[in-house]
Amino acid sequence: MSQLAAALGLPVPQTQEPTRIAWETLPVLRSWLDRVRGLDWDVLTTPTPSRGRSLRNLTVNVFHPFELLPAAWQERSFPWQPERDGEREGLLESAPELVAYAERVFADWTDFVLANAEELGRRDTTVVSQRGEIRFSALLESQLEHARFHHEQLMAFLST
């Protein structure tokens, strides 16, 4: 568990009940989406002072794992390659495209949580990635903390 989180550069969170964690992801992603919706392209593509990454890049970096999590739970595989976020963000060439991408991921993730919340609490599987094995609950919690971390960057950047 700690190997994957460390390889991803994420803090190693204490494992908690996956249903609750899944529910906790929704307001974080919703808030992110609410903040980027309506921003102009220049703001979305300007490097942030804290990490030099644009909000477009950070949006892809935060939302793409949630795009992968339903399959990770069902198929026990998490093929996230954050080093390829630049390729993914390059496909999003306007503010409406970026927002539509995040909205789609958020809607799909919300549908997954609604449909599987009860089962998530009963079955905590081991997920394999190219960086090692991890319990789904720990993977989910790592992604929640990852989203929260970048959400703080988003908020700081928008308040300047």
Tens-binned pLDDT, residue by residue, of the chain (160 aa): 445 555 556 655 444 588 999 999 999 999 999 999 999 999 999 999 877 899 999 999 999 999 999 999 999 999 887 778 777 888 899 999 999 999 999 999 999 999 998 888 888 888 887 778 988 988 999 999 999 999 999 999 999 8
CB 35 within 8 A of CB 159: no
Token pair recorded at residue 37: 């919706």
DSSP letters for 7-19: HTT---PPP--HH
144 touches 31 (CB < 8 A):
no
- Which pLDDT belongs to residue 22? 94
CATH (residue range 2-158): 1.20.120.450
**What global pTM score does this model have?**
0.85
- Any idea where the domains of the chain sit in the sequence? 2-158
The pLDDT assigned to 7 comes to 58
* pLDDT (0 to 100) of residue 45: 95
Predicted local confidence at residue 10, as pLDDT: 61
Residue closest to 150 by CA, chosen among 14, 22, 21, 8: 8
Q: What is the pLDDT, as a whole number, of residue 16? A: 53
